Structure 1
């Protein structure tokens, strides 16, 4: 009995996969929006650009919204699917899935839910989106016009025979295959460039965050006691640091930073690593 159930489940997934592939094969283009709903800016974290790249990588012809559309798409908007990247809530994970809808806003395909545990948004969104796109890799997409499109072609006044129509379809498939191979040749280089750019962007943000601590400690800081330590405020008053007590006298851990504050020769010192280099800054603390 268990064997029959197991076989039934496998058959169901195979049929679902074939059906999804057939549906997607009937669409010639995929349109990627300039901004996803869960983000605040256009192409934030270069996620929209990455989505277009991944579609092209797996054989689709992806177009950015508002770009110069091909003539056949201008005449028939239903040749294209529209892309939606959805974010699901998660306490410790970033979760994204890709949804494709037709010209009537009907869902045609939904990817698996990609996940990442990275804390940096630029890296987490990148990795979870790539994970979601593994669903498309398994489909082996190849555009095939719907039967209705072929019927229109056959009824044109040039009186083409069935053999001529089939030959044109064959040539079209060969052209698409050639285009797919050409995209594969450049995909590795493009992917490497994009990955380097995203990592560089993430690193710059980390450096910027670390540098902020050094810039805001000028002037007198006043210590206000809190649970297990103090909060250090400036004359505004604005909380600049929260520091936690340690087992050592006059040595504190800076909350949220890889840094410590300690007293040496009656001078308070902020010590941290910035760009892998040890940085020290004298503080004027009043307890």
Structure 2
């Protein structure tokens, strides 16, 4: 009987303290990653990637959580992206914490791309390799135990080194290609492709996002969110990108960014 009790006790401790990221369904993602000066498209990229791994994304503000999650806050893990950059590389640290504020997964990613938007997104993409798909368990037995410290396994994701034959060079990956550049005569912007459905136009010098484009059902037409928070539409017209900018009088002006 004593042996059985020990086995049951060990099982319960595993249920409470031995959680993995894949055990969860809900991931809380903040509106802004505080260690970065700007967004750089990281929030949108992280949300889309986690949704692709079958996680359900909820807001960082607990007041906006659905009722079933509010009743069991320990069924949620919180995601955060930290700026871990050095002098020569853009680096990020992706962390997931449980309801006890204990890190249950920490994954690093790095990029040689110096442009912030492209570099940070490539680094985040690398760190996400360490995140498994959601395979949720029953979280009703998980409770908050703030005094318990979990062992943290840190996974470092690195870019695989491609080999080049002596006769021909391997084609460059999308992240290695030079960013496309556009200008309206006043602003010089670079087009950073986040994935197949969205891209960012960012300042060529500072890499601060100017506008984020998300695909619609119509080819080459996009929903656009400007840096000031306003929403509009944009589209390709030949080699140019057109944004219909809202004016104070309620009208829209056609802003043409020509490809260089």
Q: Higher RCO, 1 or 2 (CA under 8 Å, sep at least 6)?
A: 2
**Could you say which structure has the higher strand fraction?**
2
The structure richer in helix per residue is 1
